[in-house]
Amino acid sequence: MRNSLGGNSLIAVKILYVIEKELDVELLLKDIFQHSTIDQLVIWILEQQMQSCTSVELDLILNKIVYNL
């Protein structure tokens, strides 16, 4: 059990790095585990970004996400 938890943490760190690099967002490791599906994580990231964006910035963010799929 201990090895699988460690392995999951390493995978989560890799995912965290790629998301932060590609989408230019800051996430915590706990965010990956709290939002454990891609759908949940995308929605959560969008919600976080929408809270502090203008409409022009929001359009840029949405385009970035769509083109990085």
pLDDT band at 1 (very low <50, low <70, confident <90, very high): very low
Q: Is the pLDDT of residue 15 over 70?
A: yes
HEC letters along the chain:
CHHHHHHHHHHHHHHHHHHHHHHCCCCCHHHHHHCCCHHHHHHHHHHHHHCCCCHHHHHHHHHHHHHHC
Using a pLDDT cut of 90, give the percent of the chain over it: 7
pLDDT band at 40 (very low <50, low <70, confident <90, very high): very high
Mean pLDDT of the chain: 81
